[in-house]
């Protein structure tokens, strides 16, 4: 089974406070609020160079196409998703976006090849590193 990498591109309203947007989404993403069956991870991203510099995207990684389609349907017959995702779009995300949350630009990608590379910058395990990053993000969001 190939994993699916879903990239959602967010365009904010002109009057959106980007710090508030980042804070609200960080808190939501770090909580269990958006946990879904088959979702391996979710990542809030901000472009630092290139065409989408200073713009936001979210990377959703699903364990398989089947897991994604169970939640969101197939291309010809899409579903809005599970209740927690619809609530996120309708009650949180929609406050910041320049369009309805279910009308954003997105692309779902099949993973064709992958190789995780070991980190040589620290003696911490990957889990310890991730826990430290999560803790820093939580502190910066408050």
Span 126-134, average pLDDT: 67
Q: Give the start-to-end residue ranges of the domains of the chain.
A: 4-141
**Whole-number pLDDT of residue 108:** 97
- How far is residue 75's CA from residue 66's CA, in Å, rounded to a whole number? 12
CATH assignment, 4-141: 3.30.70.100
Query: Considering only 70-74, 92-96, 131-135, which range has the smallest mean pLDDT?
Result: 131-135
Of all residues in the chain, the percent with pLDDT exceeding 70 is: 87
- Residue 117 — very low, low, confident or very high, per pLDDT cuts 50/70/90? confident
Residue 97 three-state SS? strand
pLDDT at 72: 97
Per-residue model confidence (pLDDT) at position 121: 55
**29: its two tokens:** 């993403």
The pTM of the full predicted model, rounded to 2 decimals, is 0.81
Rg (CA), the chain: 16
Name which of 103, 95, 102, 97 is nearest 13 in CA terms: 97
Distance CA 81, CA 126 (A): 31
Tell me how far CA of residue 63 lies from CA of 31, 70, 75, 91, 101, in angstroms: 20, 12, 18, 27, 23
For the cut 70, the answer to whether the pLDDT of residue 122 exceeds it is no
At 43-70, the pLDDT tens digits run 999 999 999 999 999 999 999 999 999 9
């Amino acid at each position: 089974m190939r994993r699916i990498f879903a990239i959602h591109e967010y365009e904010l309203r002109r009057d959106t406070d980007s710090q508030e947007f980042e804070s609200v989404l960080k808190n939501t993403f770090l909580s269990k609020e958006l946990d879904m069956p088959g979702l391996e991870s979710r990542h809030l991203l901000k472009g630092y160079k290139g065409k989408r510099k200073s713009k936001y995207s979210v990377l959703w990684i699903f364990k398989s196409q089947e897991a994604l389609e169970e939640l969101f349907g197939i291309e010809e017959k899409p579903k809005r998703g599970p209740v927690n995702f619809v609530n996120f779009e309708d009650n949180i995300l929609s406050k910041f976006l320049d369009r309805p949350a279910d009308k954003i630009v997105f692309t779902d990608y099949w993973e064709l090849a992958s190789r995780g590379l070991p980190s040589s910058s620290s003696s911490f395990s990957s889990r310890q590193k991730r826990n430290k990053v999560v803790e820093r993000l939580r502190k910066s969001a408050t």
